[in-house]
Chains A and B, each alone.
Chain A
Amino acid sequence: MANYTENELAKDLEDQEYKFGFTSDIDADTIPKGLSEDVIRLISHKKEEPEWLLEYRLNAYRIWQEMIEPEWGHVHYTKPDFQDIAYYSAPNQTKKYESWDDVDPEMKETMAKLGISLEEQKRLTGVAVDFVMDSVSVATSFKAKLAELGIIFCSFSEAVQDHPELVRANMGTVVPHTDNFYAALNSAVFTDGSFCYIPKGVRCPMELSTYFRINQGGTGQFERTLVVADEGSYVSYLEGCTAPQRDENQLHAAVVELIAKDNAEIKYSTVQNWYPGDKNGVGGIFNFVTKRGICGTNSKISWTQVETGSAVTWKYPSCILKGDHSVGEFYSVAVTNNYQQADTGTKMIHLGKGTKSTIISKGISAGKSQNSYRGLVQIHKNAQNARNFSQCDSLLMTDECGAHTFPYIECKNSSAKIEHEATTSKIGEDQIFYCLQRGISEEKAIGLIVNGYCKEVLNQLPMEFAVEAQKLLTISLEGSVG
């Protein structure tokens, strides 16, 4: 049995158009564009939220108004007009489905186009999918099975209604509403997302998966994800993103918080494939995301991401290694093509003794794109014997693209050991010629070489995701060698 990363690459790669570039025509309940305290009150009211959450939102909004949009990223874009965004959009169905048969056929079709038929997934893969169509979850599977183990996996809104104490105790403890401009905005206007709680000592028996999807034209998505792994528990969480093709820029500012209590482990994997804009750099998603996890004693948080989409990406999944002997990992493949810009990396904050972190970053630049790695390794004074290993590789496909590395290291403990390796290479003409001489087309050759280059990261992904990620890499880089 060949390794899964060795699977034959997708056959239907001829179509260079964005594969998921379609819009579902579903009635949506949309609040008019614009942002004010009244809009926030309306969102909170529509979601029947408790008072404390409304206060949380309003606090965040007031702080956000005082904040300045960050400009330090190695990216250039027209700043979004925050009054020209509709902050709430929910598929126009008041009632949750009793069974899968009740789901709107058109919505099912959308899911089929995404290749994630829930029925298939339920039956074949054992993946529980919490599908987010715009802002409200419409289908949650496997809930009963998970409930037997005491695992909570639901939409954020449901969690607010059904488990308010858990949400209140944990929300904002890793990414406070004051954290940064986009985190504050998210805290004020988030509409939905996912919530996951794994009780003490429970090993979640399946990959938990949420597919986010921006659907309503002109609706920014402000997702909120909170994963709490109680002591000694384990969970693997998958997040995958696709979005319809658009001419206008769409803002996405998510917040993801991970809490791994003592001896717990969270594995968080993302395949991100949002519309990157057309060949001339028109349109595309702005992806300004705050992702952070905090580790208790002996716990572990592992971030794996494959980023091929978005016009502008600004994202640093990070780990606060608070507990002694906790472990943080970051495995990333970031692909940019045409006029895409990515400024992505991680922060590893070592607070506890004997904490360890690993950073493997693979950047691939094609077209006229700009791809930056920005990472911080911070060793605090009490972090005795902390260890970090960072490897940042950049692969250039053309002469017009750029690869940049901004590693920051702050070390306040002399017992720490920090290693940083970096390479930059251009895709080898000799390698391509070798493949061509064996009868392999140039496109497939690039797919092979690039997937080989990213193997260390792809190997970290759960199997279904790894296959999807390989295809995405190949699709993203078609016709890109120059």
Chain B
Amino acid sequence: MITIKNLHASINGKEILKGLDLTVNAGEVHAIMGPNGAGKSTLASVLAGREDYEITEGSVDFDGTDLLDMDTEDRAREGLFLAFQYPVEIPGVSNINFLRTAINEIREYKGEEAMSAKEFMATVREKSALVELDPKLASRSVNEGFSGGEKKRNEIFQMAMLEPKLSILDETDSGLDIDALRIVANGVNTLKGDDNASIVITHYQRLLDYIVPDFVHVLYDGKIVKSGPKELALELEEKGYDWIKEEMTL
């Protein structure tokens, strides 16, 4: 699905990613954990194509194409989805209009016909139920006046609507209470399939009780320094990140 090799990225001249390697196959869920400032959100931003970052070295292959060579919107159209850590508010633009525009832009890119209003509304009903999103929120302006939990659920709702190949969840658990966490996780688990994959970026192990990863990676100082099965997350939760740092300095 995605193969990241020796990725180096910097912002304002400061190097954040320092040779990151990661391979994610279809059907897999990968968790990326790590202390603050390790570069977790930078990785998400760089893959999604935020222009503030400069890629100085390395390559990213996304389903056979050079991801770094693609425009931000084309990455999205090819099936890369980022669930934002801080979803953006767009006053005056309803969720429905926003999503319909997105879906039809993606369809147009793929040479497909626009989705009919009827099909669209039926999909909205189905997918909003999946994340227990109040249907009223679908008619409200994008994220405007949403609670923190509603914003995150809205991200998963959008993900469900767009059916991406690769989803990157950037700290989706932050700011969620336990019920919201369960709902979000349930959404992600339901959407999981053999032909898609997820990268779950998180600070805490808590989310991984609900979204069970196939692999856990520790990101530290711009590199993946340790990878392992899901039990690694528990170990991190128990011991913190210091032992990793110690291992690094040895």
Contact = CB atoms under 8 A, between A and B. Distances in A.
B105 A6 contact: no
A455 B97 CA distance: 13
Contacts of B106: 439
Nearest to B94: A6
A401 to B, nearest CB: 21
Interface string A1-33: 011001011000000000000000000000000
A439 B96 contact: no
A436 B100 contact: no
Interface string B113-148: 000010000000000000000000000010000000
Interface string A411-430: 00000000000000000101
Interface in A337-387: none
B77 A439 contact: yes
A349 B50 CA distance: 50
A2 B104 CA distance: 16
B87 A436 contact: no
A47 interface: no
Contacts of B34: none
Contacts of A428: 88
B208 interface: no
Contact of B102 (A438, A453, A455): A438
B190 interface: no
B123 to A, nearest CB: 14
Which of A9, A439, A440, A451 has the most CB atoms of chain B within a 10 A radius of its CB? A439
Contacts of A453: 91-92
Contacts of A455: 91-92
B90 A436 contact: no
A441 interface: yes
The number of chain A residues touching the other chain, given as a range, is 20 to 34
A440 B73 contact: yes
A214 to B, nearest CB: 33
B87 A439 contact: no
A436 B49 contact: yes
Given A437-B76, A437-B82, A438-B98, A452 B141 contact: yes
Contacts, number: 86
A170 interface: no
Given A430-B88, A433-B50, A434-B90, A444 B141 contact: no
B1 interface: no
A437 B92 contact: no
Contacts of B72: 433, 436-437
Contacts of A449: 90, 93
A454 B92 CA distance: 8
A2 B94 contact: yes
A2 B105 contact: no
Nearest to A455: B92
Contacts of B109: 439
A436 B49 CA distance: 9
A448 B102 CA distance: 11
A125 interface: no
B158 interface: yes
A442 interface: yes
Contacts of B96: 2, 6
B48 interface: yes
A440 B93 contact: no
A431 interface: yes
B81 to A, nearest CB: 8
Contacts of B225: none
Interface of A: 2-3, 6, 8-9, 428, 430-431, 433-442, 444, 448-449, 451-456
26 contacts: A3-B94, A6-B97, A428-B88, A431-B88, A431-B89, A433-B50, A434-B90, A436-B72, A436-B73, A436-B76, A437-B72, A437-B81, A438-B76, A438-B98, A439-B77, A439-B102, A439-B109, A439-B162, A440-B73, A440-B101, A440-B105, A448-B101, A451-B92, A452-B141, A455-B91, A456-B92
